[in-house]
A and B are shown apart, each in its own frame.
Chain A
């Protein structure tokens, strides 16, 4: 599983804004290579990406500011290549090579 051969990973860009970047090392844009398949062998989808981000990218211990009840916390918008994830199948969307996934929080103030 930790074997990162190029055909086993897909390169994607993940961005955080609206205050979420504070939870991800104050960095807005992350270029990542995520496993092509999840532990059960299914194609990686947004649900997998979210747990992957929590385990591998997020250093802040306050996971529940990003995830609640095993999904993205209500109030955080997810855009897949600029489209609302609700138009793309929400967390069932299978991630494609080169995808841009943006998480925007609406919860933080000005």
Chain B
């Protein structure tokens, strides 16, 4: 094959074939084009405003490293006038996060940005290593995902920052669109395709509190904005940008969900890309268009958000390795789930949920069942009548009664999971089939029965 010439400068040899439009570019033209497109995403969506302090959710992986590098470049080139900080979450997984945190520390020096590392242990009193010791390797991604989402918000609040940017790329969004379509979860489709989401979260209590989500008495609430400047950037181009710019990033697989990409929606996306590279952005755009058709999609938006800003839900995100990339193998587990649901409807059984993200539909009823049966170890649980059963299928945002975090439930997911952990008993093993449309009472009975059974088993 004769060497191709760059389509932009018509001089240099082309090294990059752009997936979105098959354009052949040389290295300098590619780097410039990539940066310019991110700039256009930022300006056309009004992501930043002058004087804003912005925390970059940094894992040391390719996406967040490229994000930090590009934002630094653009902030200087176009004079955004924003202050950039790095915020890293340490899940507490020995042999996994330690190495990538070293990369983040180097990045902090290279990009001259202050770095804050916040650990699950500090926030929740549990490292992921301890969680896995407790609940086993199966299902631990649920804990990690729920903890992670809150952790970034809490970190931002602690830094006094109102805006967190994450490295979610077009492939991530396309994957999420597919998963939500397969689940039939239209409200979440609407939320996850939005380039800006917001989560009212805690501002830091006066003294640095190391206790797990503390009582809401001394805290007030403020909107933490989330955005994804790389939303329209192909993962392929992110990796190529990192390669051609010699960026220092770290690739690893989480020890607790190795090879998560196999058999997942991720693999499907990559196969589509091999056949027709533009498919990824097509899926993203289709997701956005479908989200517009979701009735009342924007009504899910709680207090204080405007325009296209949509309130993110706490369950968003799964496996931590890519800031909310799903934990993989989901299509297979979903299929199994559907079969099990059918069986459960037939026999009136409760269903064991293997994929944590599926669990939220039955959350309401589960919570109210568990309410009167369990006592929080730390005594933070407000005394009084059990939370009432709410039937509304649409999420209405309120605050967690225990920690004050934004939640559609009386008690947020993290607190539910923590309570389970603190009682040495995983909650996620019990579920009620969401497909069963029975009177509430019979649901109550079946759930209570299963809990009692579990109690016996635990003793």
Flag if A110 contacts B15 (CB, 8 Å).
no
Flag if B274 contacts A110 (CB, 8 Å).
no
- What's the tally of chain B residues with a CB closer than 8 Å to chain A? 48
Closest residue of B by beta carbon distance from A105: B251
Flag if A108 contacts B251 (CB, 8 Å).
yes
Residue-by-residue, is A62-102 near B (CB-CB < 8 Å gives 1, otherwise 0)?
10010000000111010100111011110001000000001
Residue among B64, B240, B244, B254 with the highest chain A CB neighbour number at 10 A = B240
Flag if A107 contacts B261 (CB, 8 Å).
yes
- Which residues of chain A have C-beta atoms less than 8 A from B267's C-beta? 74-75
Least CB distance, B21 to chain A, in whole angstroms: 13
The answer to whether B313 has its CB under 8 Å from any CB of chain A is no
Flag if A87 contacts B240 (CB, 8 Å).
no
In the bound complex, what is the Cα–Cα distance between A83 and B25 (angstroms)? 10
Residue-by-residue, is A11-48 near B (CB-CB < 8 Å gives 1, otherwise 0)?
00000011100100000000000000000000000000
Flag if A17 contacts B251 (CB, 8 Å).
yes
Using A105-B251, A109-B61 as known contacts, say yes or no to A87 and B266 having CB atoms under 8 A apart.
Answer: no
The answer to whether A104 has its CB under 8 Å from any CB of chain B is yes
- Which residues of chain B have C-beta atoms less than 8 A from A110's C-beta? 59-65, 100, 167, 249-252, 321-323
Flag if A109 contacts B243 (CB, 8 Å).
no
Flag if B252 contacts A108 (CB, 8 Å).
yes
- Which residues of chain B have C-beta atoms less than 8 A from A93's C-beta? 1
Contact of B319 among A73, A87, A88, A109 (CB under 8 A): A109
**Which B residues form the contact surface with A (CB < 8 A)?**
1, 4, 13-17, 24, 27, 59-65, 100, 167, 171, 235-236, 238-240, 243-244, 249-254, 259-262, 266-267, 270-271, 273-274, 319-323, 325
**Which A residues form the contact surface with B (CB < 8 A)?**
17-19, 22, 62, 65, 73-75, 77, 79, 82-84, 86-89, 93, 102, 104-110
The 8 closest A-B pairs by CB, nearest first: A110-B61, A109-B321, A19-B251, A110-B59, A74-B270, A75-B270, A109-B322, A108-B251
11 contacts between A and B (CB under 8 A): A22-B253, A74-B274, A75-B261, A79-B15, A83-B13, A84-B16, A87-B17, A106-B238, A107-B270, A108-B251, A110-B62
Q: A74-B270, A84-B240, A109-B325 are in contact. List 16 more A-B contacts (CB 8 A).
A: A19-B251, A19-B253, A74-B274, A83-B15, A86-B17, A87-B15, A87-B17, A106-B62, A106-B238, A107-B266, A108-B251, A109-B61, A109-B319, A109-B320, A110-B59, A110-B61
